[in-house]
Amino acid sequence: MSLALDTLAYTNRLRKLPPEHKLIFAFTTLAISISTHSLVQILISLWMGVWIVIYAKIPARVYFRLLSFTLVFCLTSLPALMVNGVAINNFPSVQLDSLFGLNLGHFYIYISRSGSIQAWGILTRALASVSCLYFLMLTVPFTEILEILRRYRFPVLLTDLLLIMYRFIFILLKTANELWTAQNSRGGYRTWHSSMKSLALLIGQLLQRTLQKYHQFSLGLQARGFTGEFRVWHPRRYQPSQRYTIEAILGCVVLIGLEICRDAGIFTRI
């Protein structure tokens, strides 16, 4: 999955746009999504979907699969905010806050009105924020992000560590997939007991193989005369789009305007 996402970042329709523009756009919409109300956050999620699926031509199934991870995480954690319980004697104090409830023994378990409002706000904010980050992840290669950080004088040690970590994510995934395929072809996951045994062996072998890959990587750097800083070549063949720039600016202005109108009382609270 990670390799597929990295491939999409290099082959999407917005690939030739300057990465600085996409970075500024993603973090601007992220800041707006964090500081606005639910209606604006829903609009940001839909707008980012248009940029990712229609403009960048990222397959819709890939984007919605990524969103489903966030949605599942929220749906499994937000009920803790919505469901509450009190003793039967304290029922009058929570009657106005209860949307629906049941008597279980000496306790009253109910769905909280204020908790539901808070959960809805967290859900919309999470989806909007994640959509902005997915736009950045699916349209800008990680090496270009590191190049921008270097251009703005970020510490070389930090960018080099990020590059090595990024590289070893793929090494780790490839090694784990090879080990799992070899075990699965030998029937290592037929039963629960054999699955646990195979998983333990996979983790042990994964650590050993990763250390070997790291040693080979270090020897390769020394053989090539590594001087303490990675040099990555970038052709800088970017073509700014006036249409996309205008649309991004106007869209952000409209979103901020909606939030201002809401604070002024023109729109009802959502």
More confident residue, 199 or 68: 68
Q: Other CB atoms closer than 10 Å to residue 34's CB: what's the count?
A: 12
Long-range contacts of 200-207 (CB under 8 A, 24+ apart): 202/176, 205/179, 206/172, 206/175, 206/176, 206/179
The confidence band for 230, taking pLDDT boundaries of 50, 70 and 90, is low
pTM of the model: 0.76
Apex 76 CA angle, 71 and 81, nearest 5: 105
pLDDT at residue 167 greater than cutoff 70: yes
Stretch 109-116: mean pLDDT: 74
Evaluate whether 78 touches 94 at the Cβ level (below 8 Å): no
Evaluate whether 9 touches 145 at the Cβ level (below 8 Å): no
Q: Tens digits of per-residue pLDDT, 184-228?
A: 787 777 777 777 877 777 777 777 777 777 777 777 777 777 666
DSSP structural state of residue 56: S
DSSP lists the bridge partners of residue 109 as 85, 102
Evaluate whether 183 touches 198 at the Cβ level (below 8 Å): yes
